[in-house]
Amino acid sequence: MSASTSGNQQPRDESESLTLETDLGWAIRLVSAAFRRVATESVTELPGGARGYLVLVALAGGSEPPSQLALAKELSLDRTVTTYLLEALEADNLVARKPDPRDRRARQVLITDAGRARLAQVRQSLGAAEARLLADLDPKDTAQLRTLLARVAQTAQREVAAPDETEC
């Protein structure tokens, strides 16, 4: 995998030794697989599993309830998948949907008190799993890793949303 030359990144020096330990793709793949494994165990009882968890996180952190469409976009989920996911979460009283007062055709999604309580339980279990995965990092490194990954995720989300100019 090669380094990007866009933004403030410098092209990788071809004389730089490339090993698995320095390959971004290898590291992301390994960390992603390990995180998926521990996260899945932590959210297995939640309707929708990891996706259900992300819905609750997105709703708990927001000030204004998003529409279903806005929530689907924020989470990079298909609208149909989001609808089924919200139905499952609503059946467990973890979220509620109501007509948007600005546009009665749209529906806002709100986290319920039961949803907040369930999210707190899952967060505790997931936090313990994350701590095991990040055990070799000190708290400062852990915070920096979270910050850097969030920034890369935002870039990745923009890349997914932007049309590929190389395609016809």
Supply the DSSP string of 86-113, one letter for each residue.
HHHHHHTTSEEEEEETTEEEEEEEEE-H
Q: Residue 56 is part of which domain span?
A: 23-159
Per-residue confidence (pLDDT) for residue 8, from 0 to 100: 58
Q: What is the DSSP string of 127-138?
A: HHHHHHHTTTS-
In this structure, what CATH number is given to the domain that contains residue 116? 1.10.10.10
Interval 29-44 mean pLDDT: 90
Per the prediction, the chain carries an average pLDDT of 86
Q: How far from 117 is each of 82, 130, 155, CA to CA, in Å?
A: 22, 20, 31
Q: What is the pLDDT of residues 80-139, one digit of tens each?
A: 999 999 999 999 999 999 998 888 888 999 999 999 999 999 999 999 999 999 999 999
Name residues whose C-beta falls within 8 Å of residue 66's C-beta, 6 or more positions apart in sequence: 58, 59, 74, 108, 109
Say how many residues make up the chain: 168
Residue 32 in any domain: the answer is yes
Residue 3 in any domain: the answer is no
Residue 94 in any domain: the answer is yes
Contact 61, 71 (CB under 8 A): no
**Domain tally, the chain:** 1
> What is the percent of the chain with per-residue pLDDT over 90, rounded to a whole number?
60
Residue 128 in any domain: the answer is yes
Residue 132 in any domain: the answer is yes
Residue 12 in any domain: the answer is no
Interval 11-15 mean pLDDT: 55
- pLDDT above 60: residue 10: no
Contact 68, 90 (CB under 8 A): no
- pLDDT above 70: residue 34: yes
Residue 115 in any domain: the answer is yes
Residue 102 in any domain: the answer is yes
